[in-house]
Amino acid sequence: MREQIATAHRLVAFSDAVMAVIITIMVLELKAPERQTLSELLPLWPTAISYAVSYLFIVIIWLNNHYLMRFVDRLTAKLIWINFAHLFMVSLLPFATAWIARTQLASTPVAFYAAIFVCVDIAYNVFERAVFAQADATQISERAQRMARRRSLTVLALFASAMLVSFVAPRVGFGLICSALILHLRPEAPFSRP
């Protein structure tokens, strides 16, 4: 049992480190203007917005990952591989963030950005289901699990819609991405308390 806890803590620590590196890579993509006036910052609004949304997404992933790991009593190879797949999808975020920033929220980059969110969310949904499958009923109620699944599917649908809408209206698609993130600000599913 003690080894299982140590292994779970190592997985959390590794995930934390990967997310820290991803944020660092995103920060390195931020380029300061050549001139010293504040008006030079105005053209950088797509960079600032894409960075802020991506940063928020990583924070949400981190919060939700830590929330789910509380319920892991037995770390399995399946959970480890799902977590690695999830982290791989998240690692694509700096590339997509830089692309939408450079193209000022153009349709194809925003659709690609939304597709990354879809992939990350699918991996998260699989991870969530695997964790809940082994969670004790005293740890998380059936109602809480049901609410979490509904929320996860709603978020996935919003990300998928954002991907499709982005081809026609990229800023609307980007707005859908932002609205989907709001649903995961709190790790616990809404109305899931007994």
More confident residue, 185 or 107: 107
* Three-state SS letters, the chain: CHHHHHHHHHHHHHHHHHHHHHHHHHHHHCCCCCCCCHHHHHHHHHHHHHHHHHHHHHHHHHHHHHHHHCCCCCCCHHHHHHHHHHHHHHHCHHHHHHHHHHCCCCHHHHHHHHHHHHHHHHHHHHHHHHHHHHCCCCCCCHHHHHHHHHHHHHHHHHHHHHHHHHCCCHHHHHHHHHHHHHCCCCCCCCCCCC
Q: What percent of the chain has pLDDT over 70?
A: 93
Show me where the domains of the chain are located: 2-30+41-182
Residue 69 has pLDDT above 60, yes or no: yes
125-143 pLDDT per residue, tens? 999 999 888 877 667 888 8
pLDDT tens digits, residue range 2-11? 555 557 888 8
pLDDT, the chain, mean? 87
pLDDT at 5: 54
Confidence at residue 163, expressed as pLDDT on a 0 to 100 scale: 97
